[in-house]
Structure 1
Amino acid sequence: MGSVLPGSVREFRELARARLGEFPHSEVSDAGGVRRAAVLLCVVADEDGAPAVIVIKRAYRGRNAGQWGSPGGRLDEGETAEQAVLRELREELGLVATPADLLGRLDDFPASSGFVITPFVAALPEGAEPKPSPDEVHSVHMVRLDRLAADDVPHWVAPHEAVRQPELRAEAASVPEHRGLLQMRLAPNMTIHAPTGALLWQFRAVVLLGLPHTDARVAHFTQPDWTQH
């Protein structure tokens, strides 16, 4: 691994602010009545004090029922993406963040659901503890940054091998990135596809690994059929 990983939320905050400040994120224009959503890749200290990004499994009701995701949702009328992501964090997880906690943003992601997702990155002070809303969140998971950065997390498989958790089929041999489907295999029962998987992949590439921006684009990543609903 060519990058030294942050050992604390404070170190992560400094690293993320610097790397995101140099990252030329791409934006999708509002032309054509685009529907917009915003999500937050939110880093907190886990129970051992290690920096970890929050991943949620959505409640088994409504839109995206039971899917893996990041805190966030659609923009209300008249709301900016920044305002929306802070509101959604509070509503879904009971966590209060301010604009100063936002460290930067990644590329807009055109989801197959018809929404353009704007991802932000944040770090919250030590002691921040999620209190999930049962109406919106089934479970909350802390993914340590060293796990997210591990070499065995990203896998590329043939699109027909996209299956829901926890079952996984045999891996396709050497599927080229531009033709394959990404699986972020974070734990035995935690395999995440695009769009959330793509955002985690870009967060990993840009912030944790410090890859050149030309090697870290994700808008073209394939999405499974079930993410359209």
Structure 2
Amino acid sequence: MRGDGDGWVVSQGQAYWGRYGAAGLLLRAPGRDGAPVVLLQHRAAWSHQGDTWGLPGGARDSHETPEQAAIREAHEEAGLPAEQLTVRKVVETKIVASDGVSWSYSTVIADAQEMLHTVPNRESAELRWVAVDDVAKLPLHPGFAASWQRLRDEFASIPLLVNRQL
């Protein structure tokens, strides 16, 4: 279903997806050895910046908070059930160009009790749980690559939630 946020914002020759900004879900879970892993999406080759790794996410609709948009997109693109996600923090990257156009991408950091089963949609070539130290070894989406270290630092200061009551 197409939302009212679908569309490009163009500023100074750069195009950004999402008329009201965009949001993605940086989902953490304990890996097999207990160390945190994150869920990454290998973007379909046909998509913008395709064949790169990033976060499930997409355009925000006019009525959505960043958390709502990220969770909706993660459900659509990875089959993740909202009730098994605990939002921990939102990290916003805002772009304000000299032509007055502004756009933002919100990364919603969330935890799951375990590495949840995923179901990729047509926007995903693959979904994979990746060790934190291995993320930068993948060919990352340029926007995600530019923000990865900041995001890693942000979530390193937040203890991974485990053994909470579901």
Q: 1:115 to 1:139 in 2, by over 3 A?
A: farther
Cα displacement (A) at 1:106? 1.5
Cα displacement (A) at 1:64? 3.1
Q: TM-score scaled to structure 2, two decimals?
A: 0.68
**Contact 1:105–1:121 (CA under 8 A) maintained in structure 2:** yes
- Tell me the secondary structure at the aligned position of residue 64 of structure 2: coil
- Write the deviation string for residues 77-109 of structure 1: whole angstroms up to 9, x where unpaired: 322221111100100000112497100112324
Residue 153 of structure 2 is aligned to residue 205 of structure 1? yes
Cα displacement (A) at 1:202? 0.9
Q: Which consecutive residues of structure 2, in runs of 5 or more, have no partner in the other structure?
A: 1-18, 159-166
The match for 2:24 among 30, 39, 52 is 39
Q: 1:111 to 1:88 in 2, by over 3 A?
A: farther
Across the aligned residues of Structure 1 and Structure 2, the Cα RMSD in angstroms comes to: 3.0
Query: 1: distance between equivalents of 2:155 and 2:24?
Result: 16
Letter in 2 for 1:138: A
Q: 1:87 to 1:73 in 2, by over 3 A?
A: same
Q: TM-score scaled to structure 1, two decimals?
A: 0.51
Counting aligned pairs with the same residue, the percent is: 27
Q: Which has the higher strand share?
A: 2
Give 1:124's aligned residue. Answer: 112
Query: 1: distance between equivalents of 2:49 and 2:140?
Result: 13
Q: Which consecutive residues of structure 1, in runs of 5 or more, have no partner in the other structure?
A: 1-33, 149-184, 211-229
Residue 12 of structure 2 is aligned to residue 62 of structure 1? no
Letter in 2 for 1:142: W
**Contact 2:93–2:104 (CA under 8 A) maintained in structure 1:** yes
Cα displacement (A) at 1:127? 5.0
